[in-house]
């Protein structure tokens, strides 16, 4: 009988864009894979890809404790109904409330701390509550994966998790076959591309200001933005604000696309000046795999993708001036030097961030969790046998 694995995230978009390769690999290994997330336009795509799907209501940005208790109850009822053998979870609310529910049902659980988001950018009362909930919810989790060294060290230092049950993944990994070098159309302008959800913490404001500084000096340059507008986030950038920037002529807004690899192919350099508490940004991995030079911040998660001066540049977080300086440094490179920098991005990703590394670690973790569980049961039975023998 096939073992059942539930893959859980806050939204279907996340599962489809970041976890689909892992889900297919698990399916290929003989597991029955079930997707659980809030319903959106990507839910049907998950079903079309051959997976059972269950909707669960999660307010990713909400801090209402009564609403979160309802979320935990929904997890409990759903887990009890579908009866998975394993649960693999992503994003903060599944990691916390899904883990509580899994513990009550004695389901083996693997969590992935895929960045800590804007909640951990600065210390607030809500941050303290989140730390406490993480600490008690992870006590009985079987494995915790982190996507960068900084988050791993933070959780260990804060005493939230024990090192023995933790491991570090190279982000979400990247499909190096899909995201590969492509021929680029010849243009008179150098094109820079920023890809993210449109929230301020992703450094969009700094990108805009740097674009103003560069465009005031160089006419042969173009700055583009790709990503969701009006997202459910306190730092969301409005459509009105975006329209103002477009009308000003400082940037081109490209909207959203399911063919991100084709959009990346049009860029000369990809920029992410994030001061968000990232995991390892998927967009940077995909861009580097596509042989693009990267400019990003010397910030958690981001810095892991760039060797400064080798495959890109690191700039100071929240500094449009330093970002503009790094952009100018890139512009002064020769076409050959830019191409070399891009190929070194590709080499780094293939060496350190290929999704096969992530998939293999998950498959190994599933085996270890199962083996440990069997050993524990065997030891418990042995101890009972010894206890009975002694009493006799």
Tens-digit pLDDT profile for residues 329-379: 999 999 999 999 999 999 999 999 999 999 999 999 999 988 755 554 444
List beta partners, residue 266: none
Q: Tell me which of 1.10.8.420, 2.40.50.140, 3.40.50.2000, 3.40.47.10 is the CATH number of domain 4-173+356-385.
A: 3.40.50.2000
What CATH fold (topology level) applies to the domain 190-352?
Rossmann fold (3.40.50)
| Between residues 251 and 129, the one the model is more confident about | 251
Rounded Cα gap, residues 227 and 222, in angstroms: 17
**Which residue carries 């680029």 as its tokens?**
184
What pLDDT shows up at residue 383?
Answer: 41
Give the pair of three-digit tokens for residue 370.
């199962």
Q: Give how far Cα 328 sits from Cα of 119, 268, 333, 374, 379, Å.
A: 33, 13, 9, 59, 64
pTM for the structure as a whole: 0.85
Rounded Cα gap, residues 330 and 236, in angstroms: 29
- What's the mean pLDDT in 248-268? 95
Q: Is 310:202 a contact under the CB 8 Å cutoff?
A: no
Total residue length of the chain: 392
What pLDDT shows up at residue 58?
Answer: 87
Rounded Cα gap, residues 16 and 18, in angstroms: 6
- What's the mean pLDDT in 99-108? 96
Burial class (CB in 10 A: 0-12, 13-18, 19+), 99: buried
**Packed helices 282-289 and 335-352: angle between N→C axes, nearest 10 degrees:** 120
Q: Pinpoint the residues of the chain covered by CATH 3.40.50.2000.
A: 4-173+356-385, 190-352
In the chain, % of residues over pLDDT 90: 73
């Amino acid at each position: 009988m096939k073992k059942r694995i539930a893959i859980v995230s806050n939204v279907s978009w996340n599962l489809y864009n970041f976890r689909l390769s892992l889900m297919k690999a698990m399916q290929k290994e003989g597991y029955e894979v079930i997707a659980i997330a809030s319903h959106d336009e990507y839910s049907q795509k998950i079903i079309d890809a051959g997976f059972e799907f269950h909707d669960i209501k999660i307010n990713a940005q909400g801090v209402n404790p009564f609403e979160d208790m309802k979320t935990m109850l929904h997890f409990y009822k759903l887990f009890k109904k579908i009866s998975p053998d394993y649960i693999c979870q992503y994003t903060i609310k599944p990691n916390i409330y899904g883990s509580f529910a899994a513990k009550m049902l004695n389901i083996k659980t693997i969590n992935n701390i895929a960045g800590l988001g804007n909640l951990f950018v600065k210390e607030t009362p809500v941050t303290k509550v989140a730390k406490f909930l993480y600490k008690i919810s992870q006590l009985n989790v079987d494995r915790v994966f982190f996507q960068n060294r900084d988050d791993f060290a933070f959780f260990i230092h804060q005493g939230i998790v024990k090192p023995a049950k933790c491991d570090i993944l190279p982000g979400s990994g990247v499909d190096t076959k899909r995201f590969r070098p492509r021929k680029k159309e010849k243009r008179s302008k150098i094109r820079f591309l920023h890809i993210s959800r449109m929230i301020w913490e992703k450094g969009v404001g700094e990108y805009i200001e740097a674009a103003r500084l560069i465009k005031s000096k160089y006419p042969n340059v173009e700055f583009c933005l790709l990503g969701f507008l009006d997202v459910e986030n306190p730092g969301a950038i409005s459509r009105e604000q975006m329209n103002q920037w477009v009308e000003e002529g400082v940037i081109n807004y490209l909207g959203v696309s399911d063919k991100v690899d084709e959009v990346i192919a049009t860029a000369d350099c990809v920029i992410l000046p994030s001061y968000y508490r990232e995991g390892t940004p998927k967009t940077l991995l995909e861009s580097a795999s596509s042989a693009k030079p990267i400019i990003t911040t010397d910030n958690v998660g981001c810095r892991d993708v760039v060797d400064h001066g080798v495959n890109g540049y690191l700039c100071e977080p929240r500094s449009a001036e330093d970002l503009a300086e790094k952009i100018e440094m890139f512009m002064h490179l020769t076409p050959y030097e830019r191409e070399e920098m891009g190929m070194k991005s590709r080499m780094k990703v293939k060496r350190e961030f290929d999704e096969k590394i992530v998939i293999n670690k998950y498959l190994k973790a599933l085996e270890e969790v199962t083996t440990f569980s069997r050993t524990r049961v065997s030891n418990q039975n042995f101890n009972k046998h010894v206890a009975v023998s002694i009493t006799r």
